Structure 1
Amino acid sequence: MNKGKICLFSLFILFSSSLFGQVLQPGTLDFEYHRLLLLKNDFDKEPIGTFPSVITDFAPDSSLSWNPWNNYLVPSTSSDKFSVVDPTFGTLYNSTAPRSYNDGAVWNGKGLNSWFTTGVMGKLPTGENGYFSYTLSPIVHYSQNAAIDIPQPIYNKSQYSYPFYERLDQVERFGDESLFKIDPGQSEVKYVYRGIAAGFTTQNEVWGPATFNPILMSQQAAGIPRFNLGFNRPIDTKIGRLEGKAFWGMLRESDYYDSNPNNNYRYITGFTGGYAPSFIKGLNLGLHRVMYRLWERSSMGAKDAFAAFAHTSRQYDTPLNGIITNDEYDQMASATIRWNRPELGLEIYTEYARNDFPGNFKEFGRNPDRSSAFVLGITEAFELSNGNTIKLHYENTKLSANQLQIVSIFSSPTYYVHYSIAHGYTQNGQIIGAGIGPGSNTNVVQAQYFTPKSMFGLTAQAIRFNDDYILREYAGALKYPSEFEFAYSARYYRLFDQFTVEAQLQYAKHYHRYFVDGINDRNFQALLNLRYRINN
């Protein structure tokens, strides 16, 4: 780099030093801390059921009654035309196997993994009632991607893909060489006029209140390239606050699924809505729905633009061997409830989801738990006499079918896998929803201790992987090789004047990997995140 470029870069940093970029990078503590601020404060900008990564329109301000890290995540001004997203560098090492949860476009394989992200963002007023907003925050990612043993698939698909489902593009290893990629990351351009926003984005969003395993939309995969239309943030009415938007996007196949060039893309659409009644303090209700199908120009038309609002009954289904199926779209829908009381530091939440088309009310009454899944969680944050805060968090997620549901594969389809749509609910080889994956269940317990300059946390997690596969393949057997894992981690976060440092050590014991009896392994994981606080 020559002297001219160095001087230009220095001026760029100095010019930006008083500005603040509001991006919560997946895989960092920022997302959790932002949720904690929402829990502990009466915040009039609080989202109801959708939690974005770009929080320019949901940023806390200096008037918060509780913020132990002072102005952390608080912008210096709300009308910046240009600001820099804090540069963040991370590295993670897995000793034995890939382990990668809720880290967006990053995929942490076996061996050494590293990533770097920064960017620019701002708002450009276009009159009294409108403005143009932009965020460009790409991420660069490297993975050593060391070799692991993967069973040969029983279907005609890549040897690096999850072997137990034909129609699931879940990559277990991204080829046999090291991996380097650039992703748009948490990027977005939109126009806002009188509270209505329209624009394109690739940012990660979390739908619903779940922290570790949201069922429909999470931070597990790269953000979906999509067009959004709806309220920019919740609006106030006489009966409460309302939130809502729809989206239309494209899902991409990974390079490690199949060799068919005609099925590389899928069309996805959906909507999310939220309601916080004015007459029940702290209650937040949400309704979410997504639908996806193969991207086939010859068979797609105007009806597909409204599919998320129209396909609600059996009239779109097709009989197959006496069984009613839907061979055009796969859908998932969920209802969420979140109740929080800032004065108590308490949040209780749940998400109830249904997979595929429910049929009619008679069928729902006969099998109310058909193709259902749920999340249940509780958070308690209380302040100690010394001014520090302890946060306790428990979350349970169930994606597996029960025994009644598995009488027929069609009566209770596995989450994120569809009978006729290749790839399943994935983006570039990673699950879009809960990171534990199809048919899995988990419990997570977490304790965190916050001081004015740091956080120390402990987390324990138990996962049973893909019970749906076990119940179908080993039905009636007295002995079967369930795949499960116990993981324990310690995490430390420290704020300095110009830097933040995040470190984590994790030990995970995995039993019967890929359902092979006796194949047990231990994975040691070490994580280090460094962020330069340009905007301190």
Structure 2
Amino acid sequence: MRLNNKIMLAAVLAMVSFDAGAQSVPVGSMIDGLLRREQLLGKLDSSVSLFIRPVFYPAPVTASGNADSTRTGSEVRNNIGKVTSRGKASFGLLPVAWTQQYNARAPYGWNDGPMIPARGYQTMLTGGLYASYGPLSLQLKPEYVFAENKAYEGFPIYADEFRSGVYYGMYNHLDVPERFGNGSYSKLSWGQSSIRFTVRPVSVALSNENLWWGPGQRNSLLMSNNAAGFKHLSLSTVKPVRTIIGSFEAQVIAGRLEGSGFTPPGTDMTYAGTLLYNPKNDDWRYLSGIIAVYTPKWVPGLFLGIARTFMVYHDEIGNGVADYLPFLSPLQKKNVGEEDNKGRDQQSSVYARWFFKEVGAEMYVEYGRTDHAYNLRDLTVQPAHSSAYVFGISKVLAINNAPKQHLLVNVEITEMRSTKSNVIREGGIWYVHDRVRHGYTNRGEIIGAGIGTGGGLVSAGLNWFSGLKTIGLSVERYEHNADFYYFAFDDRIPEHRWIDQSIQAFSTWDYRGLVFSAKLQAIKSNNYQWYVDPADPDQGNIKYNFHSEVGILYRF
């Protein structure tokens, strides 16, 4: 018995490491993109899925087994903070980053964390410190945002009573204000701060960091950095756990979502004598979720994942373990009981990513449902009901006589609109919920796909890169809330669709201790705010917009 116990203890000690706490790579940062590019080149650990972000240094950069990983690891180290170690203790300053954004006519853009949808000038400043002692680590990285938040031409709420009724019918159940107040906006938050206890390969944290789940690069259905980070507890793997059948990664979260505190326009609007605006309560929401990823040992580069989230108002949580960990409940409604009466909203997704190191290519997909099936028959008969998807491909191209320079081609498609089955059965509008009336949001922005409820995006890009340096060009077609279009316009004529077409140039460039970034985007909005002049419907409602971003990061 003692021998068996010693063998078991030795096996456990072989799996864990009591070194300094893991340091995270912020979601959406320049290093975040670098890791993915370098993995396609075969310079990073091929068992890391990148489905669960932030990733933790040094896990993805220490197991690739080639000399280039040393260079990449050095770049990661330099760009997430300069750390000095003495024995079990470490201390360092995190990079200071200053981001500026400008929207000429109307709000545009997503996946920018605490920055809000706003017209005019907006800026964000962040920096901080990192400290650790043994397995305990502290990352203090607050974020400050200021937005000019100028008035702009919003939804024509008083133009048509019926369509205003449809507008409120949807946005009474979704907290995404058209404008964050009537004046300038400022907010100081915990940003990407965390307290973490790490015993590799597992880490327990109290964190405010942004999370990203899944393989998508422009959108993620369940978790992204579109909204500000939210306070949460997490239990995560910081590196793949290897077994005889392959590798596993996972994360469990329990968090707190807040409302925006702002109202939609025209709160005094009525329809048939009834006030359209229905105020939301001010209770916070409890969000719980899990994601698990499996990498088969026999299929290198293939990653398979599944994720599930539940959201409920704090006052309606319940007192049982199953109320705090509802993602452990059966996937089929028939096995849950009175699920529809529990006042909670759930989303689920499955993922797949297959990258081919030999040719520097990948393809990936996320398929999600916002209303789980009643039983297996329901799922097989109508698999598209309440569904959405993200699909993408990327390919790295070599440049002759320039071994350290490459081109990257990427195409990604996201579709969020309701399917035809929604006509004959309820459910199926992403991020909107009858009982949880703030919807799947935090502080006024959706925490899933940034294109929002009913949105659709086709994006294609080409960029040159060498390490952190990038220069690129991309084009996008973005349809705003097709679900609103289908509900509000009985004629279904294409002239009422609100579709943006855009082209953008972007670049990142590092020089000594500085990293510069810039993006310039020109947008043509067809039928802006779904509005068409009844006197001349063929002309449409075309508006032009300009979005720009400039950033500078200083590495100590």
1:144 aligned onto 2:148: yes
CA shift, 1:204, in A, is 1.3
> 1: distance between equivalents of 2:299 and 2:188?
45
RMSD of Structure 2 on Structure 1 (CA): 2.9
> 2: distance between equivalents of 1:150 and 1:140?
26
Aligned to 2:509: 494
Aligned residue type for 1:97: A
> 2: distance between equivalents of 1:479 and 1:378?
29
> 1: distance between equivalents of 2:440 and 2:204?
25
Q: Number of aligned residue pairs: give it.
A: 501
Aligned residue type for 2:138: Y
CA shift, 1:375, in A, is 0.9
Contact 1:104 1:222 survives alignment (8 Å): yes
Greater alpha carbon shift after TM alignment, 326-335 vs 486-495:
326-335
Contact 1:510 1:522 survives alignment (8 Å): yes
Aligned to 1:47: 48
Unpaired runs of at least 5, structure 1: 1-20, 126-130, 319-323
Deviations 1:267-313, CA, capped at 9 Å, x for gaps: 11010100111110111111111110111168444321221111533
Aligned to 1:378: 393
Give the TM-score of the pair, scaled to structure 2. Answer: 0.83
Q: Which of 274, 281, 288 is the matching residue for 2:307? A: 288
1:330 aligned onto 2:345: yes
Contact 1:162 1:168 survives alignment (8 Å): no
Q: Which of 234, 241, 248 is the matching residue for 2:240? A: 234
User: Could you say if the C-alpha distance between residues 153 and 46 of structure 1 is closer, same or farther in structure 2, counting changes exceeding 3 Å?
Assistant: farther
Name the SS of the counterpart of 2:75 in structure 1: coil
Aligned to 2:324: 305
> 2: distance between equivalents of 1:69 and 1:95?
38
Deviations 1:388-445, CA, capped at 9 Å, x for gaps: 1101101011111232x221361x4211111221110000000101100011111000
User: Could you say if the C-alpha distance between residues 198 and 71 of structure 1 is closer, same or farther in structure 2, counting changes exceeding 3 Å?
Assistant: closer
Greater alpha carbon shift after TM alignment, 348-357 vs 253-262:
253-262
Aligned residue type for 1:41: G
Q: Which of 263, 266, 270 is the matching residue for 2:289? A: 270
Q: Which of 187, 194, 199 is the matching residue for 1:193? A: 199
Contact 2:49 2:303 survives alignment (8 Å): yes
Aligned to 1:468: 483
Contact 2:505 2:519 survives alignment (8 Å): yes
CA shift, 1:54, in A, is 5.8
> 2: distance between equivalents of 1:492 and 1:353?
32
Aligned to 1:166: 172
Q: Which of 419, 422, 446 is the matching residue for 1:402? A: 419
Name the SS of the counterpart of 2:90 in structure 1: coil
> 1: distance between equivalents of 2:448 and 2:259?
16
| Identical pairs, percent | 26
Q: Which of 199, 213, 218 is the matching residue for 1:207? A: 213
> 1: distance between equivalents of 2:46 and 2:346?
31
> 2: distance between equivalents of 1:264 and 1:218?
23
Contact 1:389 1:450 survives alignment (8 Å): yes
Aligned residue type for 1:134: L
Please show how residues 62-461 of structure 1 align to structure 2 within 5 Å: 64-66=66-68, 71-74=74-77, 81-125=90-134, 131-151=135-155, 164-257=170-263, 262-296=281-315, 299-315=318-334, 316=336, 325=340, 328-385=343-400, 386-387=402-403, 388-403=405-420, 405-408=421-424, 410=426, 412-451=427-466, 454-461=469-476
Aligned to 1:35: 36
CA shift, 1:229, in A, is 1.7
Between Structure 1 and Structure 2, the one with more helix by share is: 2
Aligned to 1:128: none
Deviations 1:93-137, CA, capped at 9 Å, x for gaps: 111111131111122511111111011113311xxxxx1122111
User: Could you say if the C-alpha distance between residues 63 and 180 of structure 1 is closer, same or farther in structure 2, counting changes exceeding 3 Å?
Assistant: farther
> 1: distance between equivalents of 2:493 and 2:201?
59
Contact 1:373 1:400 survives alignment (8 Å): yes
User: Could you say if the C-alpha distance between residues 463 and 120 of structure 1 is closer, same or farther in structure 2, counting changes exceeding 3 Å?
Assistant: same
User: Could you say if the C-alpha distance between residues 527 and 22 of structure 1 is closer, same or farther in structure 2, counting changes exceeding 3 Å?
Assistant: farther
Contact 2:34 2:467 survives alignment (8 Å): no
> 1: distance between equivalents of 2:468 and 2:233?
39
> 1: distance between equivalents of 2:523 and 2:125?
26
> 2: distance between equivalents of 1:42 and 1:27?
20
Unpaired runs of at least 5, structure 2: 1-21, 265-277, 533-539
User: Could you say if the C-alpha distance between residues 82 and 354 of structure 1 is closer, same or farther in structure 2, counting changes exceeding 3 Å?
Assistant: same
